[in-house]
Amino acid sequence: MAGVFDNPVFPYFAFYATVVVLKTMAMSFVTAFHRITKKVFANAEDLVDKTKEKVSTHETVERVRRCHLNDLENVIPFVLVGLLYTASGPSLSSALLHFRIFTGARIFHTIAYLFALPQPSRALGFFVGVIATVSMAYNVLSAAKY
């Protein structure tokens, strides 16, 4: 098991993967904040006053939820592919470039999504992150011995 920790790329991967996972987890709290402040509840059992409030949706809550879902769709593949990529023996500079680009793209995507920046800003954040993950996957497949 010491081999993983001897890999000079692994601590950097662990750092950037943790950053994007924590950012994804934070989106749950942002969603809850908007649900509470806007009194928008997804389930009947969440209602405090069952006579006045109702289960409903709100554009802000839905925007945050879509951003969170997009994180889940991108961060999980990044972590899985990134772990394989780290084990495939990439150069430290190449690995750092991939990790930093992905992390920056996801943070930018979240800002663009939550503050409704005009397109193509959100799409740019999305595609740059996807390209970083696909590039890592290509490197893993290229290095694989089958």
Chain segment 102-139, per-residue pLDDT in tens: 999 999 999 999 999 999 999 999 999 999 999 999 99
Q: Are 78 and 17 in contact (CB under 8 A)?
A: yes
Residues 66-116: pLDDT tens digits?
999 999 999 999 999 999 999 999 999 999 999 999 999 999 999 999 999
Q: Are 40 and 34 in contact (CB under 8 A)?
A: yes
Q: Could you tell me which residues come within 8 angstroms of residue 139 by beta carbon, excluding any fewer than 6 positions away?
A: 85, 88, 90, 94
Higher per-residue confidence, 45 vs 136: 136
Q: Are 42 and 62 in contact (CB under 8 A)?
A: no
Q: Cα–Cα distance between 64 and 60 in angstroms, integer?
A: 6
Which class in CATH covers the domain with range 7-143? mainly alpha
* pTM of the entire predicted model: 0.88
Q: How confident is the model at residue 1 (pLDDT cuts 50, 70, 90)?
A: very low
